[in-house]
Structure 1
Amino acid sequence: MKHLVVMFFGALLFIFQNHGVLAEDGFMKTRGVQLVLNGVPYYGHGFNAYWLMYMGTDPSERVKVSSALREAKGHGLTIARTWAFADGGYRALQTSPGSYDERTFRTVLTRINTLTGVAYKDEPTIMAWELMNEPRCTSDPSGKTIQAWITEMASYLKSIDGNHLLEVGLEGFYGSSNPKKNPNNYPIGTDFIANNQIPDIDFATVHAYPDQWLTGSSYEDQVSFLNSWVSGHIQDAQNILKKPVLFAEFGRSLKESGYTTSQRDRMFTVVYSGIYSSARGGGAAVGGLFWQLLAEGMDNFQDGYGVVLSESSSTVGLIAEESRKLNEIRKKYARLRNIEKWKRAREIGRDRFWSGNKDNGTEN
């Protein structure tokens, strides 16, 4: 079975299907508030590693990419998110602040995979595209500028690639829909509700950094905020957007004053518990990606949030446990689908049997 890769313009995600549940390789779809792969609800668990493209271009460092992905797969992680863009320099996507090269934009979508011979836009190994990582427009807090940009760009991307899912790359901040939910009432020109209600946007994303957003506040206040942030976005995705929501970035920096591993563990637990509680009931939360995964020997990339899976810690244990729990949900849905397929096949076989007997005049 192929590994499923998810690419975003702000990042690139790989999904590893190492649990043996799915026997086919199709495009990721949405059905209501769920992600669906080959007819089975999909719940992903993974990480961010923005440096994969950077390391992959250097033959002497490429082993770190292989090592990180191997460790991730071994811990049951199913999604990796990394860069799929370049600023400045040769053939950059953003040639200068605010200026973009449409040729490069198209090149990313239509590039031929040298290993498979398939264009990215036709590659079922890719799950989804992200328009931009953490878009903001503080010059227009009304949100009209960002709303118009998302609408235009989403339509354009879908006109080139109609196979893959699309999301914005939002942090989850609210605009006029509910500004009081924002940390410190951040006015940044985006709106979790309005932006994700655009028809061409298939699922929502949320980031969570209470240690950055609530500087000066107590750790307990940050945990309380995170609880509300996670549960509130799941509820809004479920009841208002009626679309899936992916928690695409979260973590706690070891550079915080008084940092302990148990503090980071508690933050991870809040996010993971919210996702699992929703997922086991068929809700809108479809997974979480911690920031960020590092391989051994990458101290220069340590921004305070890095997790090295080979260095056993209580955090690594939490990550592996969430993998196990979400995998059990996937397997449950896969078993139910197999039962349904078996029942349909049995009914078809029975109908053919009686139809054949009737045609031969042998029915009783």
Structure 2
Amino acid sequence: DGCRCPGSSGDALHAWITQMAQYAKVIAPNQLISAGGDGFLCQGPGGRCLGGDGNAFTEFAETSEALKRTFQQWMESQGVSFARTVQVAAVDVATYQARIDTWPQAVTKTLAARDAERTRLIGDWMPMHETAMAGIDKPLILMAFGVEASDKWAQRNQLFRLVLESTLQSKITTGSVFWKLGSVGFTAGHGDAREIVIPSAELPPQAETALRLIRAHATSLSSTPLVTSPPPSPPPSPPPS
């Protein structure tokens, strides 16, 4: 999870992020700095969080609108604001996460029961962060996304397809990072339900679908520019006669 300061406006954590980013620039001036974080979007003045009790949101959300309200209230209570963080001068790269299983119980319970709601929420989550980047000339990366597979491989594959295709089509999002790729004999079997293992012989057949999605995405990346090409330069002026 990213850093959080539940119940606050986010001022304390914002000051700490600003101080640490500036210090990192002093000791490593050529290093690109990111603050990490979940990417919570707050609606208070100047992007500040409105506060609240982050432990209060445990009820099942019956409708999409109820889920949206619950999630927004919970984000406001976490004391960290994506919009404020990306404006820190020493932060070079804007990042956020989409690791649903770290979100409040009211959200995870609802999404576990309604898979279409998961797709809708993530489908909204990415453009919301792109909108928050208006006027900010920094790369935007979805730093971590994934689903605890268990018996939900089809849902995870749907999430991978959505995120990877959206990343390729976006003019703002620079890249995405999933959690995580593993290999038999090294990381497999360490209890991480989000892991995709190569080779996938020990996993359900749906795991091969996930690998195909990743391979296809990697192939597409090789021919996709990470940034928009600049306009062509005007022709030189003719020499004076």
TM-score by length of 2: 0.74
Maintained 8 Å contact 2:174/2:226: no
- Among the aligned pairs, what percent are the same residue? 25
- Residue aligned with 1:193, SS: helix
1:260 aligns to 2:152 (yes or no)? yes
Higher relative contact order (CA 8 A, sep 6+): 1
Q: Distance in 1 between matches of 2:164 and 2:70?
A: 21
1:238-280 Cα shifts (integer Å, max 9, x gaps): x14342211111011123xxx33221111112211221111xx
Give 2:208's match in structure 1, choosing from 296, 299, 313. 313
Per-residue deviation, 1:227 = 0.7
SS in 2 for 1:271: helix
Inter-partner Cα distance in structure 1 for 2:35 and 2:70? 18
- Selected match of 2:108 from 209, 215, 234: 215
Higher strand share: 1
Aligned to 2:168: 276
The residue aligned with 2:63 is none
2:71 is the counterpart of 1:183: yes
How far apart, CA to CA, are the structure 2 residues paired with 1:182 and 1:163?
41
For residue 314 of structure 1, report the CA deviation from its aligned partner: 0.3
In 2, Cα distance between equivalents of 1:181 and 1:206: 20
1:136 and 2:26 are equivalent in the alignment: no
Q: Distance in 1 between matches of 2:70 and 2:88?
A: 21
> Which AA in structure 1 matches 2:14?
Q
> Relative to structure 1, is the Cα distance of residues 135 and 158 closer, same or farther in structure 2, using a 3 angstrom cutoff?
same
- Any unmatched runs of 5+ in structure 1? 1-132, 355-364
In structure 2, what residue type is equivalent to 1:170? G
Q: How does 1:230-309 map to 2 (within 5 A)?
A: 230-237=126-133, 239-255=134-150, 259-278=151-170, 283-297=171-185, 298-309=187-198
Is structure 2 residue 19 aligned with structure 1 residue 152? yes
* Structure 1 residue 210, shift from structure 2 partner: 2.7
Q: 1:331 deviation in Å?
A: 8.8
Q: State the alpha-carbon separation in 2 of the partners of residues 206 and 165 from structure 1.
A: 16
CA contact (8 A) 1:193 1:241 kept: no
CA contact (8 A) 1:293 1:306 kept: yes
Contact 2:130 2:173 in 1 (8 A): yes
**Which residue number corresponds to residue 206 of structure 1?**
96
Indicate whether 1:229 and 2:128 are aligned: no
Residues of 1 paired with 2:227 and 2:83: CA distance? 31
CA distance in 2, matches of 1:142, 1:197: 16
